[in-house]
């Protein structure tokens, strides 16, 4: 079995202790990952701080390193896609998109430079405003996009002049560890490290005295714990948290076309996407037709092992998540929701759950108010568009939202009324290069992506010089 290594101070690192990683399509162990020790964590942080002093001052070196890392990664996208599917479950084509997206992110951030503004520059005074890198960054990733999220954080940190320590989820550490192995030689020792372990390692990395910024993507619950720990040392935080994105459908849509769009954006990656569509508000007039169209697509979707080329929807990534989805669907049915498609785990090994569509909800069920993070879509009828917007906004979440309409201009007037960091019209989860992503309310603090994301890894420094 291949032995995955951590990357510490530019070198491979193993441990005596390790933990098993399962294939969610079978439930069987496929590999083990090193359990990083406290001494190794301290070595990692010392190397990150040691490298920071030169790394922060050398933008050309950082750019060259990111470009080299992108080329190295590019040569391994097929291998990484296979690892992602094996540990996370998504279909191979989606894993390949994820690996290619990671390459694009490295290339994109290589081109970014920190801005510099001149407020005054005359014979008396020169005032310039700079952005300075914060220092060693703890980059903590979840299990739904094991490579893409880690690579985006690494690329942003390096472009800003920070050094970075990446910690993947214990459910999906393998692609990230392999990523570290592949790009290790592109960076000076200590600029980029990858360590693996459980939640406790994440907590120790956040609390470590040398960590200056915590860039975290994961659940709201963990995000709150991290914010509390960061407060004790006034560390900077950048939190990308959960979502419960609403899709508001207007009465002028082409139903089959919109059903295709809603389905694709709710069920990709088995619904385990922070900004997947997680609830649909549909006008009464077309409600039943839309529900039936969504249910047809759910029944027709080919569920299976992501390594099978015919598979459209893979398993959930872990048993805990499947249990949560099961609990939320059962709760909805118990309080009166109608199961139109799916609603159970198929009788096979692995953590599968049938694509599920729920109707007849009043909007107060847990499946509507909480984040299901799985292959389940509740559809809620509305009478008045004002009510639909109010109900979409009546949430602690504020990551994404979308409006679906035959009249894009009408959609564009509704979009700003939705309380979310990104609002799409006639699509969802659409991104162009450099597009920022941020959460309102409980969905996050700070911004990822583009020049806005870069600034989050920096502090502002004004230099005011009185000329002689």
Residues tagged active-site: 240, 274
- Which one among 49, 127, 189, 203 touches ligand NAD, defined by CB under 6 A? 203
**Interatomic CA distance for residues 23 and 100, integer angstroms:** 22
CB 91 within 8 A of CB 311: yes
Q: Is 381 in the site for ligand NAD (CB under 6 A)?
A: no
- The least CB distance from residue 59 to ligand NAD, in Å, is 27
Q: How many residues bind ligand NAD (CB under 6 A)?
A: 29
CB 392 within 8 A of CB 248: yes
Concatenating the DSSP letter of every residue in 11-65 gives: EEE--S-EEEEE-TTT--EEEEEE---HHHHHHHHHHHHHHHHHHTT-HHHHHHH
- The least CB distance from residue 32 to ligand NAD, in Å, is 16
Q: Is 202 in the site for ligand NAD (CB under 6 A)?
A: yes
- Which one among 89, 444, 449, 456 touches ligand NAD, defined by CB under 6 A? 444
Q: For residues 43 and 98, which CB has a smaller minimum distance to ligand NAD in the complex? A: 98
Listed residue (77, 83, 6) closest to 44, CA to CA? 6
- The least CB distance from residue 201 to ligand NAD, in Å, is 7
Query: Which residues within the stretch 107-166 sit at the binding site for ligand NAD (CB under 6 A)?
Result: 140-144
- Which one among 36, 150, 241, 340 touches ligand NAD, defined by CB under 6 A? 241
- The least CB distance from residue 421 to ligand NAD, in Å, is 9
- The least CB distance from residue 203 to ligand NAD, in Å, is 4
**Interatomic CA distance for residues 51 and 339, integer angstroms:** 56
User: Which one of 33-41, 88-96, 181-189, 197-205 is the stretch in contact with ligand NAD (CB under 6 A)?
Assistant: 197-205
Query: For the chain, how big is the Rg over CA atoms in Å?
Result: 23
Report residue 18 as tokens.
């390790």
Q: Is 196 in the site for ligand NAD (CB under 6 A)?
A: no
- The least CB distance from residue 273 to ligand NAD, in Å, is 7
- How many C-beta neighbours within 10 Å does residue 383 have? 10
* Residues in a beta bridge with 130: 461
Q: For residues 163 and 169, which CB has a smaller minimum distance to ligand NAD in the complex? A: 169
Q: Name the phi and psi angles at 393, rounded to 5.
A: -85, -15
Q: Is 226 in the site for ligand NAD (CB under 6 A)?
A: yes
- Which one among 218, 271, 304, 342 touches ligand NAD, defined by CB under 6 A? 218
CB 269 within 8 A of CB 144: yes
**Interatomic CA distance for residues 152 and 433, integer angstroms:** 12
Residue nearest to ligand NAD according to CB distances in the complex: 202
Q: For residues 27 and 198, which CB has a smaller minimum distance to ligand NAD in the complex? A: 198
**Interatomic CA distance for residues 170 and 17, integer angstroms:** 14
Q: Name the phi and psi angles at 178, rounded to 5.
A: -65, -40
Helix or strand holding residue 466 (H, E): strand 458-466
Helix or strand holding residue 290 (H, E): helix 284-300
Q: Is 240 in the site for ligand NAD (CB under 6 A)?
A: yes
- The least CB distance from residue 245 to ligand NAD, in Å, is 10
Q: Is 89 in the site for ligand NAD (CB under 6 A)?
A: no
Q: Is 80 in the site for ligand NAD (CB under 6 A)?
A: no
Give the footprint of ligand NAD on this chain (CB under 6 A): 140-144, 167, 169-170, 199, 202-203, 206, 217-219, 222, 225-226, 240-243, 274, 371, 373, 399, 437, 439, 444
């Amino acid at each position: 079995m291949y032995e995955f290594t951590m990357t510490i101070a530019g070198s491979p690192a193993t441990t005596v202790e390790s933990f098993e990683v399962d294939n969610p399509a079978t439930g069987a162990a496929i590999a083990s990952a090193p359990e990083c020790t406290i001494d190794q964590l301290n070595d990692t942080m010392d190397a990150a701080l040691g490298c920071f002093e030169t790394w922060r001052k050398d933008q050309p070196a950082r750019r060259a390193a990111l470009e080299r890392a992108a080329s190295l990664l590019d040569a391994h996208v097929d291998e990484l896609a296979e690892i992602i599917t094996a540990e996370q479950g998504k279909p191979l084509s989606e894993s390949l998109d994820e690996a290619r997206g990671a390459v694009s992110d490295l290339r994109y951030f290589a081109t970014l430079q920190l801005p510099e503004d001149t407020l005054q520059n005359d014979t008396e005074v020169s005032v310039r405003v700079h952005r300075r890198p914060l220092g060693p960054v703890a980059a903590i990733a979840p299990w739904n996009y094991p490579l893409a999220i880690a690579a985006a954080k690494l690329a942003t940190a390096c472009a800003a002049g920070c050094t970075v320590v990446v910690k993947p989820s214990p459910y999906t550490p393998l692609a990230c560890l392999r990523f570290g192995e592949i790009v290790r030689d592109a960076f000076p020792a200590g600029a980029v490290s990858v360590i693996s372990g459980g939640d406790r390692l994440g907590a120790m990395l956040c609390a470590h005295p040398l960590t200056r910024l915590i860039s975290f993507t994961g659940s709201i619950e963990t995000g709150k714990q991290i914010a509390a720990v960061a407060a004790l040392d006034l560390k900077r935080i950048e939190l990308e948290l959960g979502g419960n994105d609403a899709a508001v459908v207007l009465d002028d849509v082409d139903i089959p076309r919109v059903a295709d769009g809603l389905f694709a954006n709710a069920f990709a990656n088995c619904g385990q996407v922070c900004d997947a569509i997680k609830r649909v508000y549909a006008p009464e007039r077309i409600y039943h037709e839309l529900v039936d169209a969504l249910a047809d697509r759910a029944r027709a979707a080919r569920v299976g092992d992501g390594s099978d080329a015919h598979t459209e929807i893979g398993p959930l990534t872990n048993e805990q998540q499947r249990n949560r989805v099961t609990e939320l669907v059962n709760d909805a049915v118990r309080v009166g929701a109608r199961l139109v498609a799916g609603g159970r785990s198929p009788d096979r090994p692995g953590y599968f759950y049938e694509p599920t569509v729920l109707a007849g909800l009043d909007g107060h069920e847990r499946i509507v108010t909480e984040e299901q993070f799985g292959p389940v879509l509740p559809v809620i009828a509305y009478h008045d568009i004002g009510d639909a917007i109010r109900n979409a906004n009546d949430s602690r979440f504020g990551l994404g939202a979308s409006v679906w309409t035959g009249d894009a201009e009408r959609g564009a007037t509704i979009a700003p009324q939705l309380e979310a960091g990104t609002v799409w019209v006639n699509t969802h989860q659409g991104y162009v290069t450099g597009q920022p992503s941020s959460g309102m309310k409980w969905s996050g603090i700070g911004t990822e992506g583009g020049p806005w994301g870069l600034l989050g890894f920096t502090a502002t420094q004004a230099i005011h010089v009185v000329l002689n």
